[in-house]
Amino acid sequence: MYLKKLHIKSFKGFGDKTEIQFYEGVGAFVGPNGCGKSNIIDAIKWCLGEQKVSELRGERMEDLIFTGSSLSQPHGFAEVEMIFDNSTKIFELPYQEVSIKRRLYRSGEMSYFMNGLASRLKDIHGLLENTGLADLSYSIIAQGKIDKMLSADDSERIILFEEAA
């Protein structure tokens, strides 16, 4: 079970459709300051259902849609799709691959898809239940956040262990 593909369309700096092929093991992203590395992590968090735009370094959901550049006009919607390998049936579905997709229009309209079928955020959470991705606080160390994660209150920290139990 691993993340096989990531498709990003007009999410933050990804003005052109981007497809990333992943493999099992370790994948390292490198590149100059401001080129879009952390935006890939934001795209993953958002696709998995993140509701707080501050966790994605924005002020409003609209900040997540490509605002244009010297080469292009602002886009009307953003879309991210994650395709997982399901050969070990980590997702309780009869398919070899499972896909989750999220789309946001400038109007604020939001939609979620599972294997191409429109679904609700609740369904996505249900799907992610026993994969360790329902609550990302322990699967992702965001840039510059180690100090904050460690200074969380002892009672906040217990959630990590409960999630694992």
Ligand X SMILES: Nc1ncnc2c1ncn2[C@@H]1O[C@H](COP(=O)(O)OP(=O)(O)OP(=O)(O)O)[C@@H](O)[C@H]1O
* Interface ranges with Mg ion (CB under 5 A): 38, 143
Whole-angstrom distance, CA of residue 123 vs CA of residue 144: 32
Q: How far is the CB of 100 from Mg ion (least distance, A)?
A: 23
Tell me the CA distances in angstroms from 5 to 56, 94, 97, one per residue in order. 21, 19, 10
Residue 68 CB, nearest approach to ligand X (Å) = 7
Q: Are 148 and 159 in contact (CB under 8 A)?
A: no
18 binds other proteins (CB under 8 A): yes
- Pair of tokens at residue 11: 């999410």
Q: Is residue 156 within 8 Å of residue 150, measured between CB atoms? A: no
Taking the complex as a whole, how short is the minimal distance between the CB of residue 58 and other proteins, in angstroms? Answer: 7
Residue whose token pair is 């999220």 = 102
Determine which residue in the list 108, 109, 116, 164 makes contact with other proteins, applying CB under 8 A. Answer: 164
The answer to whether the CB of 31 falls within 8 A of the CB of 15 is: no
* Among 32, 94, 108, 116, interactor with other proteins by CB under 8 A: 32
Applying CB under 8 A, what is the total number of residues that bind other proteins?
69
CB atoms within 10 A of CB 82: 21
Element (H, E) at 7: strand 2-9
Q: Nearest distance from residue 97's CB to ligand X, in Å?
A: 27
Stretch that binds other proteins, among 101-109, 113-121, 150-158 (CB under 8 A): 150-158
| Rounded Cα–Cα distance for residues 36 and 33 (Å) | 8
Residue 96 interacting with other proteins (CB under 8 A): no
For other proteins, the binding residue among 55, 57, 119, 123 (CB under 8 A) is: 57
Q: Is residue 26 near other proteins by the rule CB under 8 A?
A: yes
155 binds, among ligand X, other proteins, Mg ion, none (CB under 5 to 8 A by kind): other proteins
Does the CA dihedral 26-48-95-8 come out positive or negative? Answer: negative
For other proteins, the binding residues (CB under 8 A) are 1-3, 12-16, 18, 20-41, 44, 57-59, 63, 67-72, 74, 84, 90, 131-133, 138-144, 146-147, 149-151, 154-155, 157-158, 160-162, 164-165
